[in-house]
């Protein structure tokens, strides 16, 4: 079985890798599948580009999963900078992820803000050359985005049985060099492309991967950008299961229901109705952020010192079960679990079930 792409992808290794993905035992209800979400492995200095001990520890945990995941999605910020005085670090990250490749587990990437930074300018400029080098390097990412300019930056695929849809967006997409902007934006071609993608898919389960959150959990979030509200409306209207992100170096999980207002609001105003979950699994080794959290309980925040995180997502029929793990260089343990139930009998009702 292979994943179904929205357009033909001229990458034979992608097809071969996906044919070898590990599925959970087949359900009489629909297909079952497991994937892992990780993000933010960067080090803190030019002498510590990637936090390799934590990357190794989490990869070993992933390899020990039974069954193994069908794929791993990496949510961005691979290294301290995408280039060090013009020398790219992408191959270094590929080497860090090589144990997954050797084990036959496909992995895909999301563009982070650090990937398009260069230390030579103090990381105040985003570089188009770094974006293009990224596209040349991560050839396992599908090339079926809005146009060839977005190849391997913005893409989608479906599970073998077509019951799960996965999309990746790039909030930092460049058409030229420009000032660094941590928030980024979702440009019009990506929004139009995603609308068209979800209009075509028959998948019950839908997942969006992007580097930065829509809802920040600290008292001083970046300035709001209306394009994120436009994006969330697509997710809410189409009953996405998860919005998976990183960028903040901690773990947070929040169901975005009608009690959470859009920020900023659209005109005419909208109210969320379909309980999309923002899953922020924001460190595979990056330094923990010392944020002042708006409401740690409400936003289910975990940011213990020297503690790192990854999330295992199991699609089993109508349900999506998420188990998130925490640890350091030793064993990792589950600290947060929840289930989303996409009821076939009641398509307008999605339930978040806690253990």
| DSSP string over 282-346 | --SSSPPP---BS-TTTTTEE--TT-EEEEEEEEETTEEEEEEEEESSS--EEEEEEEEEE-SSS
Bridge partner residues of 54 (DSSP) = none
Q: What are phi and psi of 28, to 5 degrees?
A: -70, -15
Looking at residue 80, its pLDDT comes to: 96
Radius of gyration of the chain (CA): 19
CATH code at 12-353: 3.60.21.10
What kind and span of H or E run contains 93?
helix 90-96
Tokens 């019950």 correspond to: 204
Contact 14, 140 (CB under 8 A): yes
Contact 254, 12 (CB under 8 A): no
Q: How far, in Å, CA of 198 to CA of 216, rounded?
A: 26
Looking at residue 355, its pLDDT comes to: 53
Q: How far, in Å, CA of 77 to CA of 116, rounded?
A: 9
Instruction: Work out the burial of residue 326: count CB atoms within 10 Å of its CB; fewer than 13 is exposed, 13-18 middle, 19 or more buried.
Output: middle
- 297, 195, 186, 189: which is closest to 245 by C-alpha? 186
Pick out the chain residues at pLDDT < 50. 1-2, 7-29, 344-349
Q: Domain ranges for the chain, please list them.
A: 12-353
Beta strands in 214-262 (DSSP E): 242-245, 251-256
């Amino acid at each position: 079985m292979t994943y179904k792409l929205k357009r033909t992808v001229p990458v034979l290794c992608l097809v071969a890798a996906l044919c070898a993905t590990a599925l959970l035992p087949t359900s009489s209800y629909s297909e079952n599948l497991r994937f892992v979400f990780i993000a933010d492995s960067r080090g803190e200095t030019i002498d510590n580009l990637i936090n390799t001990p934590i990357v190794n520890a989490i990869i070993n945990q992933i390899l020990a999963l039974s069954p193994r995941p069908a794929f791993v999605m990496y949510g961005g910020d691979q290294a301290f900078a995408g280039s060090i005085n013009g020398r790219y670090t992408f191959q270094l990250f590929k080497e860090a992820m090589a144990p997954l490749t050797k084990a036959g587990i496909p992995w895909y990437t999301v563009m982070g803000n650090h990937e398009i930074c260069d230390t030579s300018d103090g990381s105040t400029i985003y570089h188009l050359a770094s974006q293009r080098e990224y596209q040349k390097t991560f050839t396992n990412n599908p090339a079926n985005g809005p146009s060839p300019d977005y190849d391997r930056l913005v893409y989608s695929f479906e599970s073998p049985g077509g019951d799960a849809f996965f999309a990746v967006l790039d909030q930092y997409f460049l058409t030229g060099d420009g000032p660094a902007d941590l928030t980024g934006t979702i440009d019009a071609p990506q929004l139009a492309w995603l609308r068209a993608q979800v209009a075509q898919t028959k998948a019950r389960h839908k997942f969006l991967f992007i580097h930065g959150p829509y809802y920040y959990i600290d008292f001083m979030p970046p300035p709001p950008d209306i394009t994120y509200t436009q994006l969330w409306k697509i997710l809410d209207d189409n009953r996405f299961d998860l919005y998976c992100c990183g960028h903040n170096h901690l773990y947070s999980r929040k169901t975005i229901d009608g009690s959470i207002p859009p920020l900023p609001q659209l005109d005419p105003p909208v109210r969320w109705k379909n309980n999309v979950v923002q899953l922020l699994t924001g460190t595979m080794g990056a330094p923990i952020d010392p944020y002042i959290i708006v409401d740690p309980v409400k936003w289910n925040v975990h940011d213990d010192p020297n503690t790192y995180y990854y999330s295992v997502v199991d699609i089993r029929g109508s349900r999506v079960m998420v188990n998130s793990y925490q640890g350091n260089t030793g064993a990792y343990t589950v600290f947060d679990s929840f289930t989303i139930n996409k009821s076939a009998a009641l398509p307008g009702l999605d339930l978040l079930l806690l253990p």
